[in-house]
Amino acid sequence: MKPGNAGEGKAVRPTRVQDAESPTLRGGSTVLDRLERITERAKTHPEEVFNNLFSLLNYELLWYAFRRLKRGKVPGVDGVAVEDYEEDLEGNLRGLLDRLHRGSYRPNPSLRKNIPKGNGKTRPLGIACVEDKLVQRAMVMVLERIYEVDFYDFSYGFRPQRSCHQALSALGQSIATEKVNWISDADIEGFFDNVCHESLLELLQVRISDPKLLALIKRFLKAGVMIEGKLEATDEGVPQGSSLSPLLANVYLHHVLDVWFEREMKPRLQGQATLIRYADDFICCFELESDARRYQAVLPKRLARYSLSVAQEKTKLLRFGRFAQRDSKRWGEGPPGTFDFLGFTHYCGRSRAGKFKLKRKTSGKKYRQKVVELRRWFKSQLDVPIGEMWQTLNAKLRGHYQYYGINDNWPMLMAYRNKARVLVKRHLSRRSQSSYVNWTHLARLCERHPLSNPRQLTDLIAMSRASVSAV
C-alpha cells in the first residue's frame, strides 16, 4: 500500500521509449481504443463477465507497458535491468509475445528483500524480473479498466488519480459534516501474506472468465520467492512490490470488505456509517455505539471466511467527532481518544473560533521510523562528498514535507527538520578525527547550503470542499 504519494499520486519516470513512435498500425484500431471499449462495457453492463481479455496482450500493449516501467531499479533474479532489456526492445517484446500466446511463458520467482519498518520488524518486498514486471503492468492496464468501474469511491489505495491525501481529506469531511460519534479502528493481521489464492481466483471469476488470463495470474501467484539463493513456494499471499499485487489486493478487499459493508452491513444498521479504505488500512465511522459494536463483533467472522484475521492489539473503538469532548466529560471518560491512519494521529481539537476541528499530526511511530531511517542513511554517507550528501538530504526533507505537510502539522515538520539538523552536525563531526563541527560552524555552513524548509501546506479541508463541489 506505502503512504508517499501526494496530490494526484507519484509520477512514473519515463524511459527513452517515451519519445519513440507508437507501434500502432496506421488506420488500425489501437489497443488503447479497445481498452476504452472495455471500460464502457463495464459501465453499461455491471454484471457482465469478460471472457476474451488475453487477446489484448499484444505487441502494442507490451510496448506501452514497457514505457511505464521505472528505470534505475534493482534487477530481479536474472540480473537484467530495464536499460539492458531496452537495448533490443523489439526483439525481446516479440519473443515474449510468442511465449505468452504459446503458453510457454513462466514467471520467474521474485527476489525477496526485507525492508526495515523502524519498529524492529521488517516488511518483505518482492523484486520481480523486468520481463515479469512488463507482463504484470500490461495485465494491470487491462484489468483496471474493469475494476476501476466496480470499486467504490471510498477505496483510495493504489488506484489511478487517487492518493493518501485524498483519503485523509474524505475522512476529515465525513467526521466534520456527518453524524460521526464513534470510530472503529481495525487492522488486518499480515494481509498481503495471508491472501488465499483459491478465494482470490474465485473472486476474480465474478468479472473474468478468460481461462488463459486466470491461468497467467495463478502462475504469478505460484511463482515462488528466492530467499538467500533458495527457492521457496508461495502457497498464499501476494508479493509486495510487484505491480500486479496492489490491484489483486484491492479486488480481494473489494469483495471481502467493501461490498459486504455496503450491501450487507449498512442496511442492518440503525444510524449512519461510513467506510474509508486505503489498501488494507481502513477506518469506519458510526453514528451509534450499538452499530459500531455490532460491526466489530461481525468483522472477524467475515474476514475469517477468507483466511484473514483482525490484529486484536491494533483494534479499538473510541468516542470521536464533534460532540466527543462534551459526551466524554458527561460520562466521566476523560479526554477523547486518538487513532492513527496513513501515518497521522487524528485527534479532536478546536479552531480559532472555538469550534470542533479534526486535527492531525505525524504519528509517533512514523516519526520515530523516519528518524531511524535518516540516521541509518547518514551512516552510509561518511565517504560521500558534502555537497552531494547535502543535495540528497534536502531531497529527503522535501519528500517528507510533501507528504506530512498538511493542516495543523507544522510543529512536527519543524521537529523533523530540527532532528535532521542535529544529525547533520553529528555526521559532519564524525567524518574524521579532526572534523568536529560546533553549532557556529554549522550555522555558517547552512548559510551557504541551506536546509530545505516547508513551503506550502496541503489544505485537506479545501481539498474536501473541492471534491464536494465537483460532485
Grid look-up 488500512 returns: 281
pLDDT for 107-157, tens place per residue?
A: 999 988 877 665 566 777 888 999 999 999 999 999 999 999 999 999 999
The alpha carbon dihedral of 401, 403, 405, 409 has a sign of negative
In angstroms, rounded to a whole number, what is the distance separating the alpha carbons of residues 138 and 144? 10
**Overall average pLDDT of the 218-232 stretch:** 88
More confident residue, 124 or 281: 281
pTM equals 0.89
Which residue is listed with cell 479545501?
462
Tens-place pLDDT, residues 65-100: 999 998 888 888 889 999 999 999 999 999 999 999
Q: How far apart are CA 340 and CA 415, in angstroms?
A: 19
What is the pLDDT at residue 336? 93
Please tell me the least confidently modeled range out of 7-21, 153-167, 263-277, 397-411: 7-21
Q: Please, which residues bridge with residue 155 across strands?
A: 277
Please give the DSSP secondary-structure letter assigned to residue 99. H
Confidence of residue 10 (pLDDT cuts 50, 70, 90): very low
More confident residue, 296 or 5: 296
pLDDT of residue 1: 39
Q: What's the rounded mean pLDDT across residues 216-232? A: 89
Q: How confident is the model at residue 24 (pLDDT cuts 50, 70, 90)?
A: low
Q: Whats the size of the chain, residue-wise?
A: 471
pLDDT > 90: what percent of the chain? 72
| Continuous H helices in 45-185 | 59-67, 82-86, 89-102, 130-150, 164-177
Q: Are 136 and 322 in contact (CB under 8 A)?
A: no
Does 117 or 256 have the greater pLDDT score? 256
Burial 83-116 (b: 16+ CB within 10 A, else e): eebbeebeebbeebbeebeeeebebbbbbbeeee
The pLDDT assigned to 2 comes to 40
pLDDT, residue 468, reads 61
What are 281's three cell numbers? Answer: 488500512
Distance linking the first and last C-alpha atoms of the chain: 27
Are 141 and 63 contacting, i.e. CB atoms less than 8 angstroms apart? no
pLDDT tens-digit readout, 404-418 = 999 999 999 999 999
Residue 357: pLDDT over 50 = yes
Q: Under a CB-based contact definition with an 8 Å cutoff, are residues 417 and 451 in contact?
A: yes
The alpha-helical segments, DSSP class H, found in 114-158 are: 130-150
Does 16 score more than 50 pLDDT?
no
